[in-house]
């Protein structure tokens, strides 16, 4: 476990300070490196190879949605909609038909609600035990 970090002439030993320092570093490193990238006049398509492979989404059906809902782990955290996995599992028989229809329409039209494009990302604290 890291107890402190040395940033120039500052020693940080509070977890919140260390996390903030790491966040600041990673938030700034991209734009700093981007300044050093040489501008080019070519298009990204010039670097792509043609292929016969393609990506597609298959339409889904009510039994599949029901099965997936019913397999949800009850102890999982809520999503951005604040609906618990336990509640989704309990209501699977009532909502699977409507959800299957919504999924089908999104795949068919290629229109996906903005809310489906978001995720809650929670960093996990990792403990490292070093052997010396």
pLDDT for residue 36 is more than 70: yes
Task: Band the pLDDT of 129: cuts 50, 70, 90.
Answer: low
pTM of the predicted structure, to 2 decimals: 0.53
Q: How far apart are CA 22 and CA 102, in angstroms?
A: 40
Summarize the confidence of residues 18-43 as an average pLDDT: 86
Q: What percent of the chain has pLDDT over 90?
A: 31
DSSP the chain: ----EEETTEEE-SHHHHHHHHHHHHHHHHHHHHTTSPP--S-GGGGPPP-S---------HHHHHHHHHTS-TTSPP-TT---HHHHHHTHHHHHHHHHHHHHHHHHHT---GGGG-----PPP-------
The predicted structure's pLDDT at residue 132: 45
The predicted structure's pLDDT at residue 131: 52
Average of per-residue pLDDT values in the chain: 86
Task: Band the pLDDT of 15: cuts 50, 70, 90.
Answer: confident
pLDDT for residue 107 is more than 50: yes
Domain spans in the chain, listed from the N-terminal domain onward: 62-117
The predicted structure's pLDDT at residue 128: 54
């Amino acid at each position: 476990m890291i107890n402190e970090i040395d940033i120039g002439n500052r020693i940080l030993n509070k977890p919140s300070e260390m996390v903030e320092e790491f966040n600041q570093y990673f938030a700034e490193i991209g734009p700093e490196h981007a300044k050093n990238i040489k501008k080019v006049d070519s298009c990204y398509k010039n670097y792509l190879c043609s292929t016969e492979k393609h990506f597609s989404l298959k339409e889904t059906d009510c039994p599949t949605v029901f099965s997936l809902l019913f397999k949800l782990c009850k102890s999982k955290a809520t999503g951005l909609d604040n609906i618990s996995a336990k509640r989704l599992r309990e209501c699977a028989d009532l909502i699977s038909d409507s959800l299957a229809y919504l999924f089908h329409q999104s795949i068919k039209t290629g229109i996906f609600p903005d809310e489906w494009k978001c995720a809650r990302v929670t960093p996990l604290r990792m403990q490292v035990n070093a052997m010396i």
